[in-house]
Structure formats: C-alpha cells, structure tokens
Chain A
Amino acid sequence: MLRRCSVLLAAALLIGACTPAPDTDEIAPAGQEASGTVDFWHFFTAREADAIERVIAEFEKAHPKIDVRVTAGQDDAKMLQAISGGKGPDVGLSYSTDIVGKFCASGAWRDLAPYLDRDAVDLSQFPETLRSYTSYRDKRCAMPFLADTYGLYYNKTLLAQAGYTAPPKTMSELAEMAKRLTRRADDGTIQVAGFVPLMNFYEHTPQHIAPAWDAQWLTGDEHSAIGTDPDWLAMLAWHKELIDWYGHANLQKFTAGLGDEFSADNAFQQGKVAMAVDGEYRVAFLRDQAPAVDFATAPLPVDDSKPELYGAGFVTGNVAGISANSDNPEASWELVRYLTTNTDAIVKLANGIKNVPSTQDAMESPDLKLDEQFQTFMDIFANERTATTPPNSAGPKYIELTQDYVNGYLAGEGGGLETGLRDLDEEINQALDLGR
C-alpha cells in the first residue's frame, strides 16, 4: 500500500513539475536602452507576413541593439502550448480577442501597466472599445494591433436594377429590399439572394450583427445576459421571419453551392448575393479579385426602434502581448510599443494588411492610403457606440454556445424562443463556471 502511494505521489509530483511557472522579472528604470534578441510569433502569411517583415526591418533599423526573430503562421493554440512548455515567443500576436481574458487572468502574458506607466504611454489614443478588449478586470496584458470592423456591402448594379439608389438603414428596409432583390428560378431555387439571413453565413454571425440591436452578451459579473435582454428576442425574430420567407432548406441549398468565403468565388464577389455583412478587408479582396463588381459600403442597418445606433457596428482586432516567460521583456516591450503606438508603423501595417489603423493619429495620417469605400469602416471604428464581445476568462465559449442555439432555432419550427434563451443562459453560465 505504502509503495502504491509513493508511486502515485511521484507521478503527481512529476505531472506538477511540467506546469508552467511565470517569470517575475522587475522592469528596468526609465531611460535604459533595451538590447538583445526578441522572438516574435504572428499568424500572418503571404502578403500580410511581408508587410510585417518590412515594419520589423524598420524597427531593427531604429533599434540597432535589438534583433527580432520573426516566426510567421503561428496560431493561438501553438503559442499557448509553447508558453506552457516554457519555450514560447517573447512577443505573440493573436488574431483573437477571445484569448485576452485567459491570458491576462492566468498571467500567460505579462501585465503591461508598469511599462505603460514608466514610459507614459497615452492609452486614450485608442478608442474605448479597443481598450476594453485588450484588458481584463483592469489588468492590461495586451495592446491593440490594427482592427477589423464590420459593415454592409451592397452591389450597386443589383440595387439599381431593383430601383434602389441607397442602402437600407433599418432592419425593416433590409428585409424588404432583400425580398425584392432576390431572384428565383421557376422551381423556386434561389439564383440571387438579396441578403442571406442565416447566422452562420460568412461574416453574418451573432457577434457581428448584435450591435445593430444593441444586444448584450454578458452581465458585469460575467454571467449570460442573453436570456434577459429583449434585444435578442427581437434580433432572432427578425432573422426567423426572413429565413421563413426564403425557406430554410432553400437557403441551405443556395449557400451550399456558393464559393468559399476567402476565395475569389466569394458569393458577394460573384454577384450572387446583393447585400452582405463583411469586414473592411473585403474592400481589398474586391478590388483585387472582382474589379468589375460595382459595390459600395455602409454601416449595418439597425433595429427600427433604435435609429440612434446607425453608424455603429462591431469591432475586433489583433492583440499583441509579452509572454510571462520572456527572456527579454524590455526589448519585447520596445517591439510591442513600436508596433502598437508608432504612427508610422501602424500606417504602414494598415496600408499593407488592409486593416483599420488602431490609433487616432494613425487614422488621421496623410500617409494612409484609403480606398473610397474603406472610409465607412473608419467611421464605424470611430463611432462611440461601436461594440465588441466582452472578454472573459473562458474564451469564446459563450459566443459559440449562442451560435449553436441560434442555428438550431433558425432551422426549426420556431416558438419557445424565450424559454430557449433562458435555458441558453443556464448552459452558458455552467460552461463559464467550469473554467473559473
């Protein structure tokens, strides 16, 4: 028995020894020049990775004592596994704000407050929403690195053929225009959809469209707000009505035949969808892959009872942070600071990657090469009612459980929505509790 206990104890100690231990280096006093090597991991590839390389080269020129080793194409899972194994990058760039809560709460990314205070970095240069998704419970462990905002794309040719000269501003207008713009074959098959209301179609998702109803996700104490927020009822009822008009199976059949979102066969680029929700990056794809499409952009239409929301939208973005076990946090901070607050660097990155620049100075820079249709997204970005999904320590669970429920509800017979959303609250709260 004693021997068995000893073996179990040894196993437990061995397992415990494999868990990460955060580094707790003190920060250097102000005025010291950072030096050494910085390992920088990011997820970009191809054209976008080249834009990063160019900016890093300029950083190294301006900081000759710092050598940056760049590794492209690294996703969050790889970064997290590397950090937990003590081999992570000094600086990591993530495409998802979902990780901020976990990385801040667990200490996987360092608290940046001491560096920000020491170097007197003015955080008010970032819009409030960006500040909110890069910190968690007053702990700032990340900095915003460009942003994605979402709005409405519309095909001007198709709208003109149906007699429209302007995009919809309310959800009623969107539904009415969607119906008039839809073309069907004799057998009822959809040939061109005015608007696809399935909430898992390309970028038309609950998180991207929720700001149009001002629908809330979480309460202040990180519990689900969905079941008690009437805006969710209104949002899903609108979608259900339009989906029923199309016929869910008809929409499924139609969308199954459309090309992949991030390919030249994208349905909006192919003129098979007249209006679509998408990010600012679609402008560059359209100019490059579908120059013949005559399109324009606008803010998302909003709930009829909330016209004051028009002009706002959804914003998210990339986030950069310094690993807890970084060997060179001072040089790492120099890099993070340069990439996220240096106007020249941000403008070059925004021009190269075709994302929204994340600081006020960068947005006003004359060097910013703006497409005419890109301005819509800059305006959405600057709108103070523009919203995001709130960070929490359990990551994207609450979003994806909602997505599951919404997809099932929209495919079903309808009814039971209030009860369903309340049950969803319970399911989300239980799932969030598991990670706390």
Chain B
Amino acid sequence: MLSFLAPALVGIAVFFIYPLASAIYFSFTRFDLLTTPQWVGTRNYAYLFTQDKLAWQAAANTLWLVVVLVPARMIAALATAMLLTAARRGSGFLRTVFYLPALAPPVAATVTFVFLFNPSTGPVNSLLELFGVDGPLWFDSPTWAKPSLVLLGTWAVGDLMVIFLAALLDVPKPLYEAAALDGASSWQRFRHVTLPALSPVLLFAAVTGVIQTLQYFTQAAVAASVASGEATTGGGVSSTFGYPEQSTLTYPLHLYIAGFRYYDMGYANALAVVLFVAAFAVTLVLLLRFRAFAGGRK
C-alpha cells in the first residue's frame, strides 16, 4: 500500500512538508540569506502583530479584495454563463469572445487597463465626460485604486465562466420543468434548482478564488508601477508597490518587499506562515459552510 503511495508521498514531503517546516523554522529566526539564521523566538511575530502598521494595511487591502473581488468575479462569471446558455444563435462565437480576456497575460492586461483608465488621457474618462461625468482618478486615487483592480478582475472571468457554463448545461432540464409546473418563479427556479446544482462548482470557485486573492500580487504590482510613472526604473521597482498611498499594497507584496527588498527573510517567513494559516482557516470555513448556503445537504 505504502509503495503505491510512495511517489505521491515523496512529492508531498519534498514540495510541501519540507518547505513548510523550513518556513516555520525561519519565521523564528533573523535571517538575511547571507549569515547563519539566528534564533529570535517570537520576535518576528511580535513585530508583525504589534508594530508593523504596513502589514495591517496590507492585510486590510487583501481582505477588501477577498470580500469584493471574489464575489464580484463569481457573480460576473455566473451572469455571463447564464446569458450564454440563453443565447440561441452564435453561442460558440460568443463563448469564445467572452473567454478571450482570460487569455491575456496579466501584466499586459493590467498595463492596458491603467492606460484605459488614465484620468487625464484615458478613453474611459473621456467617455464619461461626454455624459457630463467627471471621472475619478482610478488607479491614481487611494479610494478608487482597489475598485479599479476589481474591474480588471471582473473583465477577465473567462476561466470561471467556462466552468460555470459547463455546470449550467449539466443541470437536468426535467428539474426546471417540474419546478415550472409547480408554479416556481424564475428567481425560485434559480435559487432552488440552479444554485444547488451548481453548489460544487461554486464551492470550487469560492475556495480557489479566496486562495488566489490571498496571493494577489501581479496585477497590484504592475498597476502601482505603471500608474506611478516609474515602471521602467532599473533600481528598486518594488519601491512603487502600493501606489497610491499604499492602497494597492497587498499582503503578498508586503511579504515580497520584506524578503527581497529588505532581506528580512525571517520576518518574511513569519508573514508567510500567517498567510498560510489564514488561507487554511478560510478554506476550512468555506468547506464547512458552503453547502448550507447553496441550499444543499449539510
């Protein structure tokens, strides 16, 4: 039995257990990659929880994205998928069109979005101006920077949309017919037929979405660098992370800066361990609660 499991166990030990054990060990040390790690007890955790204001700001930004971006992406993907199932003609073409943004590389897509939403020269604000609306500063505003990232995230929902589409097409038609015969409204059909049928897929989307958003890095880094006007500097690009006014500084960005700009690897590992615990806890809660939310059996 064990020999059958051996390849998997070796993989888990080498690529999960060992790195995790290392991260936990280093999180209790002062380590700069250059000198031997020195045991400092809980000092890194004490600094994280009691002194590092930026860590709390980064955690709050990340939490904001988890609370807003994940549901927004799921709703956008589900709505698009439902519209596509209703399309009678050209559904193949439409599916391709709506999936295409998911193929855009995140860096290129983010750069394009920052230019489109440029408050001074971008077409979005020019369009709003035609309707008499004075557009916001988008990626240059501490208030609007995160909502702008959400817009970017909901634009590229093709990956989720395809999964929802497959699940929607898999819902047995007789269930809808029976519900209709019983006089169920379209909302009731959605709530009591579609949602329960989709619940495994919704759970998958929620769990992976939360984990991905807890690790949100590329788009926030690129948007801050491009919007700050210093995207091409050779030295210290990470100094622009968080622009404007740390509103886009996510937890992984803070971790990256601690590790690879300040070389506080011990502290970066403490940040990573806390992130791991948070992601694990959120995943557990979602697994325990989601079925009830989606109307399935507990």
Contact = CB atoms under 8 A, between A and B. Distances in A.
Interface of A: 11-12, 14-16, 19-20, 43, 75, 77, 80-81, 83-84, 95-96, 98, 102-103, 106-108, 200-202, 249, 252-263, 394-397, 400, 403-404, 407-408, 411, 427, 430-431, 434-435
B228 A20 contact: no
A258 B121 CA distance: 9
Nearest to B44: A434
Closest 9 CB pairs of A and B: A257-B120, A106-B34, A84-B33, A256-B140, A108-B34, A95-B235, A257-B121, A262-B232, A430-B51
Interface of B: 18, 21-22, 25-26, 30-37, 43-44, 47, 51-54, 118-121, 137, 139-142, 227-236, 239, 242-246, 260-264, 267
**A contact patch SS:** helix
Contacts of B264: 394, 434-435
Given A80-B33, A106-B32, A256-B227, A396 B261 contact: yes
A320 B13 CA distance: 41
B239 A411 contact: no
A395 B37 contact: no
A256 B34 contact: no
Contacts of B243: 200
A92 B244 CA distance: 33
A378 B37 CA distance: 43
Contacts of B139: 256
A81 B137 CA distance: 38
A396 B261 CA distance: 8
A19 B260 CA distance: 16
Given A19-B36, A394-B262, A403 B239 contact: yes
Contacts of A106: 32, 34-35
Contact of A263 (B30, B44, B53, B232): B232
A404 B228 CA distance: 13
A136 B265 CA distance: 21
Given A77-B260, A256-B137, A395-B262, A84 B34 contact: yes
A105 to B, nearest CB: 9
B151 to A, nearest CB: 16
Contacts of A394: 262, 264
6 contacts: A14-B18, A15-B25, A80-B34, A95-B234, A102-B263, A249-B137
Contacts of A411: 142, 244-245
A108 B44 CA distance: 23
A212 B290 CA distance: 60
A262 B233 contact: yes
Contacts of A400: 239
A107 B33 CA distance: 11
Given A15-B25, A394-B264, 5 more contacts: A83-B33, A84-B33, A256-B137, A258-B120, A404-B54
A333 to B, nearest CB: 20
Given A84-B33, A107-B34, A261 B137 contact: no
A99 to B, nearest CB: 9
Contacts of B244: 252, 407, 411
A431 to B, nearest CB: 8
A15 B22 contact: yes
Contacts of A396: 236, 239, 261-262
Contacts of A96: 235-236
A20 B140 contact: no
Contacts of A107: 34-35
A6 to B, nearest CB: 14
A80 to B, nearest CB: 6
B34 A253 contact: no
A16 B31 CA distance: 11
Contacts of A407: 244-245
Contacts of A14: 18
A19 B37 contact: yes
Contact of B120 (A102, A201, A254): A254
A58 to B, nearest CB: 25
A162 B262 CA distance: 46
Contacts of A11: 18, 21-22, 25
A261 B267 contact: no
B231 A260 contact: yes
A15 B26 CA distance: 9
B257 to A, nearest CB: 8
A188 to B, nearest CB: 11
Contacts of A102: 32, 34, 263
B44 to A, nearest CB: 7
B234 A20 contact: no
B239 A252 contact: no
A392 B276 CA distance: 32
B236 A16 contact: no
A256 B245 contact: no
B260 to A, nearest CB: 5
A43 B236 contact: no
B269 to A, nearest CB: 11
Nearest to B233: A262
Contacts of B246: 404, 408
A97 to B, nearest CB: 10
B112 to A, nearest CB: 15
A400 B263 CA distance: 14
A81 B229 contact: no
A16 B121 contact: no
A11 B232 CA distance: 41
A256 to B, nearest CB: 4
A256 B261 contact: no
A368 B25 CA distance: 54
A83 B44 CA distance: 24
Contacts of B37: 15-16, 19
Nearest to A201: B229
Nearest to B227: A256
B137 A253 contact: yes
